[in-house]
Each structure stands twice: as structure tokens, then as C-alpha cells.
Amino acid sequence: MSNPYDLLIIGGGINGAGIARDAAGRGAKVLLVEKDDLAQHTSSASTKLIHGGLRYLEHYEFRLVREALIERERLLQIAPHIVWPLRFVLPHDEGLRPKWILRLGLFLYDHLGGRKILPPTRTIDLHAPPHGDVLKDRLVSGFEYSDCWVEDSRLVVLNAVGAAERGADVRTRTECTALERGGEVWTATVRSSDGEEQTVQAKVVINSAGPWVDAVLGLAQPGRNHANLRLVKGSHLIFPKLFDHDICYIFQNKDNRIVFAIPYEREFTLVGTTDVAFTGDPDTIAISDEESRYICDAVNEYLRVDVSPGQAVSSYSGVRPLYEDQAADNSTVTRDYVFELDNEGGGPPILSIFGGKITTYRKLAEHALEKLEISGASWTAEKPLPGGEIAVGGFEAFVVRMMDRYPFLPQSTVVRLCRAYGSLVAEVLGEAASTQALGEEVAPGLFEAELHYLVEREFARTAEDVLWRRSKLGLHLDSEAQNRVAAWFARREVEPA
């Protein structure tokens, strides 16, 4: 078999997609395979923050925090449609971390990463609006600091789109079922969802399979013991809006963990997360009753209005594939990424990736390619992700321009499209001058033109891909509307191309 791939990347989460984009932009011949949809597992189950990780300072992970804080502002610049600033309030609570510790931690947080864009920390009165009506009376003062939001699954998809634009072969619903190391190349068997198998060759394998990284190592190195992972489950609850402002909260818990309460999708509040050891099948993960109660108990310590698990409108869970560093507590296991490079007998290498954070995915990709000695200069720090070229005036001015261009669409729909696609909105909507030009309105605000774009450009194959990963419309649409989206995909399956 001639002309092998330079890189076979196994796993279509944020690490795999980020590496694929970087490597393809350096001229490498790249194949990325993902057994399910892009970001279907861990990478769409985050707290959806681009942040330094304030609590990691307590564990002296200064390098990780500094790298993450630097990346925070880079991502804000290269993906302004899916990354935007947030302000967080950290209440001081007597009996937990003393005020001087919080102030010192936030001073370091403000200065470790060379912050330039985001506003600094300030001390606030929690009895003043808007917090006095939200938080319990015992909470008198606190600190307000900056971090950023990210549309996590879209970050993955846009990296994959960027990789494909630069020549990468991106295959979703395609599983690597066999790996055999030869003298100069790997021979891999990949199987698509329809059962068709193909043999491919690659000079290097990158194992970015997340919770399945040890399973992939089992294919590559049969007969060895592969127990490098500590799987830690994190779960979130989504409630109807718990407060009427756009500031987020970070609450200290008595077990030294923290819980976030974040305005979400205009109508909701996202609350989480947990740290629970996980030993089951990551394909069937779900929040437990104990986790739901833990989250509610944590926020009920702070909010005036109590919440219960039954009030949640939705939930999600993910498994963090952390490197097993023998830490006693799941919350103290390092979130830093770890590489394991194996080129046994001088043969072609396999690089396995453990851990990592969404915030640092871009640096992880650079470091992975450096470790593999992939030629070409790093380039992703300055080049916007697809749709990130918003141009003059920032995101708000861009929305105004798009509203002027597409006046027949409701403002809420234009804002959603701008957030999802940024400067590529024009590719989604084209030269349409009316809703009729966008095809059938399959669900409220979701037209055929957008569905065709998602299929043709963003690897969407099912209604779930669209409703829960390419967007969060699943939270806003009733079951009838969601069924219409599923029916559209079903018709597409049977209709001739």
C-alpha cells in the first residue's frame, strides 16, 4: 500500500480535532477517525468554560494555570463567536477558605497569564444588587473575577472543519478495530457505521481516544497491561433560570470542591460539577441520584431559593480521562495532560494522550506535534477558527450587520446563527431574501438551509448531532419539533442523492 498517511488520529474529541487541524495546516497528510460523532462524549460534557482553573492553584499546578490563562485570551481572539467573557462572583463564607487566601489566589489568577483583555478582580458587596436578592443573608462580601464561556462541542467541530479545509480526511462513525505495527508504518483497520471495513496505513498513530485510550493501546500493544487512566465522572444539572442577571457564581463546598451556577441558553441555569470515580461503560454514562443531590445541596447553601433534583429540566454527564497519578482524591488528580510515546524496537510511534483541558487543547496539539517532530511552524495561535473573522466592532456589531442583511429573520434566530457560525453565517444563509429561500422550516428557527450546511460542512448525521452538539436547540424545542428534525434526517437517508 503506497502513500500512507502521516498521521492516523484516533478520537474526535477536542484533542484529536485540535491536533488534526494543526497538523493539516503544516502540510501533513492526516486521517482522523471517531467511532461516534465529534465531541459526543467528554468534550461536550464540560462546564463549558475557558478558564485557568482557579482551584488548581491550591494544588500548586502553576504551569497548567499559567498556560490556561494565556490560552484563555488567545481563544477569545481567534473564536469570538463561540468564546466570550464572563464575570464570576466568589462569595466569602465564614468557616471555609479565609478571605486572604481567596484574595491571594485571585491576585495570582489575574497576573500569572499576562491578562490584557479581560477586566481584573474586584471586591464586591453581596448585599447590593443584583446579588442581595439571590444569595443568603450571611454572605456579606466576595470577589468578582473574569473567565470565559465556550460552546464546547462547537469548538471541536470547528477544529475538525478547519482540519478538513486544510486537507485532512475526517471520518465520523468510523471505528479503528485493529492496529498492527510494521517496520515503517502502522496498518490499521477502520470500520464505518454501515459495517464496511478498510485498511489504511500511517507513519504515526495518535491515540486521543479519551476514555478509550487504554482500549486503543490494547489494539496496538496486545498482551500488555494498560491501566494508565483514572476515569472521573462529572455531572451537571440544568434548571429553569435561577436568577435574572448574567453574572455567574462559583460556590465553595465543605468538601473543598466548588460548584458553578452559570446563566445558560438565556432561559436556564447550568449547575455543576461532580468528581466521582467511574468504572463502567463510558457509552452509557448518566448522572446518579447521589450526584443530583450533591449538586442541589451545594447550591442550596448559597441561594435564597432551594432547588431539588426534580426541578431540573435536563442533565448531562461525562467521563474525564485523567492520568492515574495515584492521588488519593479524585478532585486532586492532575488535570494536566500527559503524553506516552512508544516506538518499540525503533518502529513507527504511537503517541497516547491522557488528561488535558478544553482550555489548553491548542497548546496540547502544538506539544504533541513537537514531541513527534512533525515539521512545520506552529500557526494556530493567530489564525481564527472557522467563522472567527468577525472583523471590525466585535461580536455585537457583527450581529447588527447580520440583522440588517437578513431582516426577515427574528433577532433571536440571527443571534443564535451568529454565535454558532460567526462570519460563516453568509455561507449558511447565502443570498436569501426571505424565509422561503431557506427551504422548509423544519423546527422553529431551524431551516433546511442550515441542516444542509451542517450535513455538508460539519459532519452532522443525525438529529441528535444537530440538536445537542452543533446547537443546544434540544433544550428549546418540544418533542414534536425534535421529531420533525429526526424525520428530516430519516427522509434524507432514503431519498436518492
pLDDT digits 0-9 by tens, 118-135: 999 999 999 999 999 999
Both 187 and 272 in a single domain?
no
Q: Give the domain CATH number at 97.
A: 3.30.9.10
Both 399 and 257 in a single domain?
no
Q: Is the dihedral of CA 267, 297, 50, 238 positive or negative?
A: negative
CA distance 95 to 387: 47
User: Would residue 54 count as lying in a domain?
Assistant: no
Q: To the nearest whole number, what is the mean pLDDT of the chain? A: 93
Q: What is the CA radius of gyration of the chain?
A: 23
Domain limits for position 145 = 74-150+230-324
CB 10 within 8 A of CB 170: no
Distances (CA, A) of 122 to 87, 113, 142, 300, 320: 11, 18, 9, 25, 32
Both 236 and 301 in a single domain?
yes
Both 303 and 258 in a single domain?
yes
CA distance 324 to 187: 29
Last residue of a domain, one of 289, 324, 359: 324
Q: Give the domain CATH number at 413.
A: 1.10.8.870
Both 433 and 454 in a single domain?
yes
496 pLDDT band, cuts 50/70/90, is very low
- 142-189: per-residue pLDDT in tens? 999 999 999 999 999 999 999 999 999 999 999 999 999 998 999 999
Summarize the confidence of residues 203-209 as an average pLDDT: 97
Both 144 and 291 in a single domain?
yes
User: Would residue 50 count as lying in a domain?
Assistant: no
Both 140 and 79 in a single domain?
yes
Report pLDDT for 326.
Answer: 63
Task: Choose among 119, 117, 93: nearest CA to 106.
Answer: 119
User: Would residue 90 count as lying in a domain?
Assistant: yes
CB 152 within 8 A of CB 470: no
Q: Is the pLDDT of residue 116 over 90?
A: no
CA distance 191 to 10: 12
CA distance 118 to 110: 9
370-381 in b/e burial notation, b at 16+ Cβ within 10 A?
A: eebebeeebebe
Q: Is the pLDDT of residue 325 over 70?
A: no
What is the model's pTM? 0.95
Which helix (H) or strand (E) covers residue 290, if one does? Answer: helix 289-300
User: Would residue 103 count as lying in a domain?
Assistant: yes
Both 188 and 309 in a single domain?
no
Both 165 and 274 in a single domain?
no
Both 409 and 486 in a single domain?
yes
Phi and psi at 254, nearest 5°, equal -70, -15
Q: Is the dihedral of CA 445, 446, 447, 450 positive or negative?
A: positive
Summarize the confidence of residues 180-199 as an average pLDDT: 95
Q: Is the pLDDT of residue 7 over 50?
A: yes
Both 169 and 139 in a single domain?
no
Q: Is the pLDDT of residue 95 over 90?
A: no
Overall number of domains in the chain: 3
